[in-house]
Chains A and B, each alone.
Chain A
Amino acid sequence: MASTTPTQIDQAPPVTSSGRSTGRAGDKIFAGLSKGSGILLLVIMASIAGFLTYRASIALSKNEGNFLTTFDWNASANPPVFGIAVLLFGTVVSSIIAMAIAVPIAVGIALFISHYAPRKLAAPIAYVVDLLAAVPSIIYGIWGALFLVPQLNGLNLWLDEYLGWTYVFDKTQVGVARSLFTVGILLAIMILPIVTSVSREVFLQVPRMNEEAALALGATRWEVIRMSVLPFGRSGVISASMLGLGRALGETMAVATVLSPSFLINGHILDPGGGTFAQNIAAKFDEANEFGRDALIASGLVLFLLTLLVNGAARLIIARRKDFSGANA
């Protein structure tokens, strides 16, 4: 290719020069390649979905319990009895805790890096945050189990004492904090880096003239953030949160290491016990017989649907105010 280009410049009108036909062939090859990989992707997706649905349907047809409401997981027993209620509860609750803690902190750190910190400080902080994202989840799990759990005992007692009346923070069982609350905190720490770095990128992209518009009206730094930066970054923060939520919903090793699982729904989130989809699959997969694995696959499908649902909802939120998004400015 490189050698044909100069010749083409010399030959004034390239009637049927080889350069042109290579260009067309290149187009064709590229079009074929991209079409092919697109189709391949769809085929892979479809075969995964088909496989999962098929195996899940086997499990569901033999289930003696109610898949949605049974508080039990005896899928390898005969007859099998299993239900996802506890897992759904544990997954949703721990993820909500994680989001409630992580998103505000992440937005705060991102704003600090992008708009408050002096440059000398901003770059190292951003670097450390990015580094946190690279820590493998099993490390978080070990750290959580050996360090975080004992450290949280004090916080748990404090919450129990002052917020115990809310029911949610009422600690009814003594013992170490291998609870959904602890899992939520750990997940929050784990998703903090990704939510922070994506939000930071979005905040840095706010056009200068949008911020100057607010400044020239006599806005303080915080008011500039409220009037220009946050509205502009809103959809980006939602996307960032969804990335984090996706990780929190599906996190396996860290949760399995920290939680002491039980098949109960307990609204007192400081009590040990509970379970999540991913944790339950990791804990049971090895010792399960073939049918037991089908049942676990069925629970995995539900997790998959849950993630899809959450993503769809986020898209809806973003699209609802698209006119005002700043994308058309």
Chain B
Amino acid sequence: MAKRIDVSGLSAFYGTHKAIDDISMTVEPRSVTAFIGPSGCGKSTFLRTLNRMHEVTPGGRVEGKVLLDDENLYGTGVDPVAVRRTVGMVFQRPNPFPTMSIFDNVAAGLRLNGRYKKSELTEIVEKSLQGANLWNEVKDRLNKPGSGLSGGQQQRLCIARAIAVEPQVLLMDEPCSALDPISTLAIEDLIGELKERFTIVIVTHNMQQAARVSDRTAFFNLAAVGQPGKLIEIDDTDRIFSNPSVQATEDYISGRFG
């Protein structure tokens, strides 16, 4: 059920501050697109405009269009709640519902979407946990609180929670930045499997990670502090890392930045 994302002329604001300016790009279905760029250039902000999470920040405002296949997420009459049910999100810090068990965490999104029989729930929860490579570690403790897991396990729990509702797009904002190298590898492998079913967009500060997991890479930059961030270029990951067409990209990737 993966869908194509088509962004055109998108700007986002915090109050009067413009955080990103006039971004246009296309993300193909069943691919992984990595966002890279210096801190503060608006990667997270842009990512959050793709599931209408930006506007929950007080003062948050968006101009422009985001088409999911052919539907504009910012069209009149589009319910942001419905958008977020189609476009899932994984955050930088693992955030399982602390008051819920592991099972209930994974089932949380399903319970929002409608009524399921207990047996259906059990089946989907197991499938999602397997999809997130967490099943073997938690199958004997599904009724224990999700906050009792390790950081890496919690992040995979959050991925299981996000994929349980079968979203069409999965957004990940630095999903590994709080994790050790082994958990990071586990999640990178997982991203490789998930892209068979979902359109994935991942923000990362780790160049190797971008090179390892993504098909396409987008480089963002900002002219100066206080200026809005811009999309500098987006291209096949191989090209971005071997022969980018913009000098700034090469400087950033090779560490000659700033």
Residues of A within 8 A of B (CB): 207, 209-210, 212-220, 223, 227-228, 231-232, 234, 321, 323-329
Contacts and interface: CB of A to CB of B under 8 A. Distances in A.
Q: Which of A214, A216, A325, A327 has the most CB of B within 10 A?
A: A216
B98 A326 contact: yes
Contacts of A218: 81-86, 109, 112-113, 165
B165 A217 contact: yes
A325 B99 contact: yes
Contacts of B91: 209, 212-213, 216
B30 interface: no
Contact of B96 (A213, A219, A323): A213
Interface in B102-116: 108-109, 112-113
A215 B84 contact: yes
20 contacts: A210-B95, A213-B97, A214-B97, A216-B88, A216-B89, A217-B85, A217-B108, A217-B161, A218-B84, A218-B86, A218-B112, A218-B165, A219-B84, A219-B112, A231-B97, A232-B99, A234-B99, A323-B148, A328-B98, A329-B96
A216 B83 CA distance: 9
A212 B96 CA distance: 11
Interface in B163-209: 165
A212 to B, nearest CB: 7
B176 to A, nearest CB: 17
Contacts of B23: none
B56 interface: yes
Nearest to A233: B99
Give the 5 A-B residue pairs with the shortest CB-CB distance, closest first: A218-B85, A231-B99, A329-B98, A326-B98, A216-B89
Nearest to A232: B99
A35 B184 CA distance: 50
Interface string B46-85: 0000010100100000000000000000000000011111
Contacts of A216: 51, 53, 84, 88-89, 91, 162
Interface of B: 51, 53, 56, 81-86, 88-89, 91, 93, 95-101, 108-109, 112-113, 144-145, 147-148, 158, 161-162, 165
Q: Is the interface of A mostly helix, strand, loop or mixed?
A: helix
Given A215-B56, A217-B108, A227 B97 contact: yes
B112 A217 contact: yes
B112 A324 contact: no
A131 B90 CA distance: 42
Given A216-B89, A223-B112, A324-B98, 6 more contacts: A213-B91, A218-B109, A232-B98, A234-B99, A325-B98, A327-B98
